[in-house]
Chains A and B, each alone.
Chain A
Amino acid sequence: MTKVTLVARGVDGKLYREFKAEAVRRGMKVSQAIEESMRLWLSSREQVKSEVDINNEAYERMREELEAKYKGKYAVISGGKLIGVCNDLREVREVLRRREAGRHAIVVKVGVDRREEHEWLGGSLE
């Protein structure tokens, strides 16, 4: 396994001191604590990703049915399920609060929201 040397500029000093103290309390080197933090951060990304995938797969499964029944309304999908069909965004907010949606939810205006082509010319593009 290749080991690398990291130099990071601009890290919050207070946060780093707390991090280092916690590593010492756990009997770890700072490098070990950083590796563990990286693994945790990457695994949390996977968790969000899987929730996103679950909701998108659910939407594609129910898409035809939604378009037949609820055109023009807002469908709310969370946890891989349809958790509400709403007339406006105020109702959507209530559904999301009542149902305690996880970290991701799809809110789609049925039959209206579609893939669109746009342009981004020069300007702020790097």
Chain B
Amino acid sequence: MARGIFRVVECWSYDGDMPKIDVVLVSVDGRRVPEKGVLRLNIDTGFSGSILLTRRHYEMFMLGELPESAFRVYRTLTGEIVMRRARATLTLPKVGVELETFVETPRLGEGKLLAGREVINKIPMLLNGPEKTCCYVSKAELLEK
């Protein structure tokens, strides 16, 4: 396992005890979501997908949806949930990071605003629980491999 010293680039506070992340999403046809400001997502490491949206937010991505045969099926504690899925670009405005990603919403139901592991695993991030802050970090010095 590589060990190193990490430099904190930007930190922001949890909301209460919930780690959050501010993002801007852009649909395949170039629409910014939200039109102004940022979308605040709960960080949920129990969700293995990318970005879960409410139905209202997801409708902005209907021009880049995947076919139904490529929708994901999520196993949950209470059974399976089929999610609609569309392509999007995600930006972290605090640090200028841009990623291609998927946005999803339940085929039935209202959805939520969440960032799941598929996104979190692409971002070098520190969740500092005792101080209730999330930090974006970059590797400053590699100590050993």
Contacts and interface: CB of A to CB of B under 8 A. Distances in A.
Contacts of A89: 28, 87, 89, 100
A78 to B, nearest CB: 8
Given A93-B29, A125-B46, A120 B75 contact: yes
Contacts of A59: 67, 69
Contacts of B64: 92, 96, 105, 107
B6 interface: no
Contacts of A116: 70, 72-73
A84 to B, nearest CB: 12
A20 interface: no
A120 B47 contact: yes
Given A105-B65, A113-B70, A121 B76 contact: yes
Nearest to B104: A118
B82 to A, nearest CB: 9
A123 interface: yes
A63 to B, nearest CB: 8
Given A92-B28, A96-B28, A120-B48, A125 B76 contact: yes
A107 B28 contact: yes
Nearest to B80: A117
Interface of A: 48, 52, 55-56, 59-60, 63, 78, 89, 92-93, 96-97, 101, 103-108, 113-125
Interface of B: 28-30, 42, 44-49, 62-78, 81, 86-87, 89, 100, 112, 114
